[in-house]
Amino acid sequence: MSGPRTSTTIPGASAGNGNTRIRQRRRLIDACISALHIYGPSRTTVEKVVALADLSPGIVRFYFDSKAAMLVASLEYLAAEFEHRVMAPVAQLKDTPVAALRLLVDLYLDADIASPRKVSVWYSFWGEASSRQEYYDICGKKDDDFAALVRELIQRLIAASGAKHLDADGVALGLIGVLEILWQGFAFQSEANINRAEAVGRSLAFLRSVFPGEFAAEPAAPPRPVSTAAGARLPASAYADAKLLRAEREQLLRTAWQVLGHEAELRMAGDFLTGDLAGERVLVVRAERDRLHGFRNTCRRSPHALVAERRGHLQSAIRCATHALTYTFDGQLVEGNTPGDLTPLEITTRGRLVLARGAAPQVESRASASLWDACGEPVAGGFAERDVAADWKVLVEQWLENPQPTQHYLFPNQLVDVRPAGAVILQVTPGFPGYARLRRFDFSNEAAGKRGSRAARDVWRRETDAWVGEQVQLAESTQSGLLEAGNEPGDAGPVAPALAEFRDAITRLLEMLPARQSERGR
């Protein structure tokens, strides 16, 4: 059979460079996965996929030779995602098998990897694998590689604990069976009915029954830095910790205003912007009477995105073609059977910038508000994004260790560079432990058309391109070094106040983790 025209984009690789073709292909694959969840491989058609993607049927032929090639590409995408989001981070901790197995359980049962949508698609492909060699090869390799990794970790733990009476194959098979049963349960539930903390607890209970004394019900706090001074370096484990990442999203990132774009991108009723609030998808729409409305960019019937593109225009309403749902631009359900209206999210404007956040903060930061104002009222410019093989905190620490005179840090994850020619905003958000996404917004100054200003702007942007590239390269190199260094403390040199404040905020979350786990276990 014919294969896809282009290779499968591997999640986590540095491919997300804002390229339209890459984004369109990802959009088609995401829509194909949603169609497979709803209809299964046999009843999924090109027409159903493009309806979900809101693209023309002809665009499919540009990327895939056939429907069969598109299905295989979607399965390859899921397999690559599993490899990079589960297998790779766990394999990096093989020398500490208890920590590796904890992370494996967390990632395997994660709401993104083990969503009802993706789990049902995996089982759909397995169901047809007996008659399709391509499906069998991809699914079989994923399962074989996972089983080999689990067995290796169990074998290492048996050796480290001295429990030579245990059989590594049998224990590994038992753990895989527990995880598989939990996955089967996820496939037939809605996300709202899934208790993932309980699922993780049941998996760890199995491991605890085999290895008494390990996998305590209330895990100890992550290793603390040797120094207790303000701004002390974080332990290396903090840069690949799934539980810490969950706390960072909930308590730091979702409560902070995140830039989505420029008001000029929302000129008329129906224009929209989308963004990511650290795992919370947001949709902002210009409605009648020039009003802006922000919602959770998620279908109320199943958790797929209502709108996939970053920006665009909606004709008369917000629609979910899959479930025949129609919402007005202010989020009210006017057609279809669903739990209710779209879930509102908080949005605001600062100057001409459009911002959103997923939750109200406990304390408003006046400093952050004043820094947004430093951008003035710029003209909309370019947008780009890329994946970074490093924890989001690594990039933030780099910004704060070497601050530039024109750069302003917006706690916890954004950097604004303001020049006479315009402004650049960098926004880093976590993808999964050890990986992040970097978004870049370029804005021009109102006076950009004056003589000499265009040349100055072009020079500045070239310099910014080079600086951002260096920052990404340094972050990825640092992440690799952190994983290799274990929990050895770093140097104790001078720490800038902003860097100390950032590290102290993360340290407080680390200290809270045991109590948070205890609460989940009640």
Measured between alpha carbons, how far is 23 from 28 in angstroms, rounded to an integer?
9
Instruction: Specify if 449 maps to a domain.
Output: yes
Find the mean pLDDT for residues 132-140. Answer: 86
- Tens of pLDDT, residue by residue over 304-329, are 788 888 999 999 999 987 788 999 99
Please, are residues 290 and 253 in contact by the beta-carbon 8 Å criterion? no
Measured between alpha carbons, how far is 274 from 297 in angstroms, rounded to an integer?
8
- Tens of pLDDT, residue by residue over 398-415, are 999 988 888 899 999 999
Find the mean pLDDT for residues 48-75. Answer: 82
Rg (the chain; Cα; Å): 24
Residue range(s) defining the domain that contains residue 409: 230-256+376-522
Measured between alpha carbons, how far is 261 from 258 in angstroms, rounded to an integer?
9
pLDDT at 219 over 50: no
* pLDDT value at residue 50: 81
pLDDT at 487 over 60: no
Please, are residues 244 and 238 in contact by the beta-carbon 8 Å criterion? yes
Least confident of 48-57, 88-97, 343-352: 48-57
Closest by Cα among 19, 32, 14, 46 to 76: 32
- Tens of pLDDT, residue by residue over 428-451, are 999 878 889 999 999 887 655 555
Instruction: Give the pLDDT band of residue 485 (cuts 50, 70, 90).
Output: low
pLDDT at 374 over 70: no
pLDDT at 229 over 70: no
* pLDDT value at residue 365: 53
Tokens of 136: 């069998």
* pLDDT value at residue 452: 52
Instruction: Specify if 242 maps to a domain.
Output: yes
Tally the C-alpha atoms within 13 A of residue 304's C-alpha that lie toward its C-beta: 28
| Helix and strand totals (H; E) in the chain | 15, 15
Length of the chain measured in residues: 522
DSSP 221: P
Measured between alpha carbons, how far is 331 from 325 in angstroms, rounded to an integer?
11
pLDDT at 113 over 90: no
Please, are residues 274 and 289 in contact by the beta-carbon 8 Å criterion? no
Q: Are strands 311-313 and 280-286 parallel, antiparallel or unpaired?
A: unpaired
3-state secondary structure of 216: coil
Tokens of 480: 């690799």
Burial 69-78 (b: 16+ CB within 10 A, else e): bbbbbbbbbb
Instruction: Give the pLDDT band of residue 211 (cuts 50, 70, 90).
Output: very high
Q: What is the CATH number of the domain that holds 434?
A: 3.90.380.10
* pLDDT value at residue 27: 81
DSSP 4: B
Least confident of 9-23, 162-176, 224-238: 9-23
Find the mean pLDDT for residues 187-207. Answer: 85
- 12 vs 273, higher pLDDT: 273
Measured between alpha carbons, how far is 195 from 423 in angstroms, rounded to an integer?
44
Which residue in the block uniquely carries the two structure tokens 């009222």?
Answer: 377
Instruction: Give the pLDDT band of residue 474 (cuts 50, 70, 90).
Output: very high
pLDDT at 271 over 90: yes
* pLDDT value at residue 10: 41
Q: What is the mean pLDDT of the chain?
A: 82
Measured between alpha carbons, how far is 19 from 23 in angstroms, rounded to an integer?
6
* pLDDT value at residue 237: 86
Instruction: Give the pLDDT band of residue 217 (cuts 50, 70, 90).
Output: low
Measured between alpha carbons, how far is 78 from 120 in angstroms, rounded to an integer?
12
| Amino acid in the structure at residue 162 | G
Instruction: Specify if 442 maps to a domain.
Output: yes
* pLDDT value at residue 224: 41
Find the mean pLDDT for residues 356-377. Answer: 65
* pLDDT value at residue 146: 94
DSSP bridge partners of 408: 416
- Tens of pLDDT, residue by residue over 242-270, are 889 888 998 899 889 999 999 999 999 99
- 58 vs 516, higher pLDDT: 58
| Amino acid in the structure at residue 255 | T
Cβ contacts of residue 303 below 8 Å, gap of 6+? Answer: 115, 116, 117, 191
Find the mean pLDDT for residues 227-256. Answer: 83
* pLDDT value at residue 175: 95
- DSSP output for 67-112: HHHHHHHHHHHHHHHHIIIIIHHHHTTTTSHHHHHHHHHHHHT-TT
Closest by Cα among 386, 361, 370, 266 to 22: 386
Omega before residue 412 within 30° of 0, cis: yes
- Tens of pLDDT, residue by residue over 2-48, are 333 334 444 444 444 445 677 778 888 888 888 888 777 778 888 88
| Number of independent structural domains in the chain | 1
pLDDT at 488 over 60: no
DSSP 265: G
Least confident of 161-170, 230-239, 346-355, 461-470: 230-239
Burial 199-218 (b: 16+ CB within 10 A, else e): bbbbbbebbeebbeebbeee
Instruction: Specify if 351 maps to a domain.
Output: no
* pLDDT value at residue 116: 84
Tokens of 81: 């995602």
